[in-house]
Amino acid sequence: MAKKMSQSNTSSEPLKTADGVSLKVSLNRALRRRKITALLLVTPLFLFILLTFLGPIFDMLLRSVDNKIIVQVLPKTVSQLAVWDASTGELPDEAVFKAFVEDAKIAAENKTISRVGKRLNYEKSGMSSLFRKTGRKLKKFDPDKLEISYTDLVLGYDKKWAKHETWWLIQRESGKYTSSYYYAAVDAQIGVDGVQRKPDDQRIYMKLLKRTMWLSSLITLLTIVLGYPIAYLLATLKTRTSNLLMILVLLPFWTSLLVRTSAWIALLQREGVVNDFLVTLGFIGDDGRLAMIHNQVGTVVAMTHILLPFMILPLFSVMKTISPTYVRAARSMGATSFTAFRRVYFPNTVAGIGAGGILVFILAIGYYITPALVGGTSGTLLSNFIAYHISTSLNWGLAAALGTILLMVVLVLYILYDKIVGIDNMKLG
């Protein structure tokens, strides 16, 4: 046997299968076939993720820099303005005004001119009505009857056209892409003399971002503190009891978000259950009722409760796999119960804490319904403003820029987590 093998190894003749194809080729073929099958199996999922997840994210990233509207609606004006030197501080020349009248007249007839106004209004308030008004007047304007210069015609429409800043703004935003949404998202503005921070009483997004980070971290910490003992209890009790407790954990999880949030309002408000209880017991006077809702306390309490199951479930599934013999072994070797917990049990659950922590944190920074209802002014998060710009102000560019910043923050935290804890150690179940 050994002799035969060494013979075939040393022989220059390659191994062949029954049908005479070299073994190597045949194996490769089989492997390729299996790879294709595997690829076909994951294709639907891959396409699904591409279409419903990666596609929209990419679209959102694009929206935060997209600025096609101005060059589309005012093409001649944009090309004329390109040669205008704004730094002279003088208004553009007649050619620009002529191009503008021609562009704007077409735009007014196509009803696209007010879209330019709305876009520029994001940069400077007053632009929206300026363009709407000018559009209305230009619709009636007949170029053949023009007796004055185009410049005088436009300046006669509104005194804002005589402002250098108006033309400078159009020139600045005439590119296909813009960075102005990102500047707005970090509380800065582009002035004639460069980028400046907004005045202190107009800065909000960075403050909101900081607050969102801080509250989300606090909520994550609270869910760990509250969820850890519960998960431990669930994992160590007899199956029958723990199943019952599990239902108690899952029941609120299955209840509508709005119902749970409203329940907290009923509990925490000034005339609510908790305050009534404290007054009855005499802990606080009737006029000293605690303010626990419509502020940060409300947001933290309600969101901690709502997100708690997302911490308990991964913790539970990790704890379930830890054999009780580990702790017993530690104890039998003389460790106190605290040492046994700290050195043996706890390190085994870190993967669960990591998974639950990331899950809760990421959900928390995107939450907006609960903070809107119970957060008052001090408990509003950045996501509330994203929702506002998506559904009310329709400033999708700014919403996209804010969303992108939030996404970047999550990615940075994810990378940090990977560096410190290691993503391979994360266990979701």
Partner 1 sequence: MKKVFTQTALAAAIAVGSAGFTTASAETELVIVSWGGAYTASQQGAYHDPYMAANPDIKIINDDSAAEGAAKLRAMAEAGNTTWDLLDAEAPSAIALCDEGLVDEINHDKDLAMAPDGTMASVDFGDSIISPCFIPQIAYSFAFGYRNDAFDTPPTAMSDVFDLEKFPGKRALEKRPDTNMEWALIADGVAPGDVYDVLDTEEGVKRAFAKLDTIKDQVVWWTKGAQPMQLLADGEVVFGTSYNGRLFEAIEVNKQPINMLWDAQILNLDGWVVPTNAPHKAEIMEYLKFATDTQRLADQSKFISYGPLRASSAALVGKHGELGIDMAPHMPTDPVNMKTAFAYDFEWWADHKDDLAERFEAWLISG
Place of tokens 């309600």: 302
Q: Which of 57, 378, 411, 425 binds partner 1 (CB under 8 A)?
A: 378
| Stretch 2-31 residues interacting with partner 1 (CB under 8 A) | none
Closest CA relative to residue 106, chosen from 76, 83, 126: 76
The CB-based long-range contact list for 138-142 (8 Å cut-off, 24+ gap) reads: 138/101, 138/104, 138/105, 138/108, 138/113, 139/105, 139/108, 139/109, 141/101, 141/105
Q: Whole-number minimum distance, CB 192 to partner 1, in Å? A: 18
Determine the Cα–Cα distance for residues 14 and 21; give it in Å rounded to an integer: 10
DSSP string covering 117-135, please?
HHHHHTTSTTHHHHHHHHH
Q: Is 126 in the site for partner 1 (CB under 8 A)?
A: yes
The two beta strands, 194-197 and 188-191, are antiparallel
Contact segment (CB under 8 A) with partner 1 among 26-34, 39-47, 138-146, 370-378 equals 370-378
Helix or strand run (H / E) with residue 190: strand 188-191
Q: Which of 67, 134, 220, 269 binds partner 1 (CB under 8 A)?
A: 269
The answer to whether residues 202 and 214 touch, using CB atoms and an 8 Å cutoff, is no
Half-sphere exposure (CA, 13 Å, Cβ side) for 231? 27
Q: Whole-number minimum distance, CB 387 to partner 1, in Å? A: 10
Contact segment (CB under 8 A) with partner 1 among 17-25, 90-98, 127-135, 420-428 equals 127-135
> Residue 162 CB: number of other CB atoms within 10 A?
13
Q: Is 117 in the site for partner 1 (CB under 8 A)?
A: yes
Q: Is 208 in the site for partner 1 (CB under 8 A)?
A: yes
Query: Which C-beta is closer to partner 1: that of 147 or that of 201?
Result: 201
Query: Which C-beta is closer to partner 1: that of 127 or that of 364?
Result: 127
Q: Whole-number minimum distance, CB 123 to partner 1, in Å? A: 10
Q: Whole-number minimum distance, CB 203 to partner 1, in Å? A: 6
Contact characters 175-204, partner 1, x per CB under 8 A: --------------------------xxxx
Q: Is 388 in the site for partner 1 (CB under 8 A)?
A: yes
Half-sphere exposure (CA, 13 Å, Cβ side) for 226? 18
Per CB under 8 A, residues contacting partner 1 are 110-112, 114-115, 117-118, 121-122, 125-129, 132, 201-204, 207-208, 211, 265, 269-272, 294, 372-373, 376-378, 380, 385, 388, 390-396
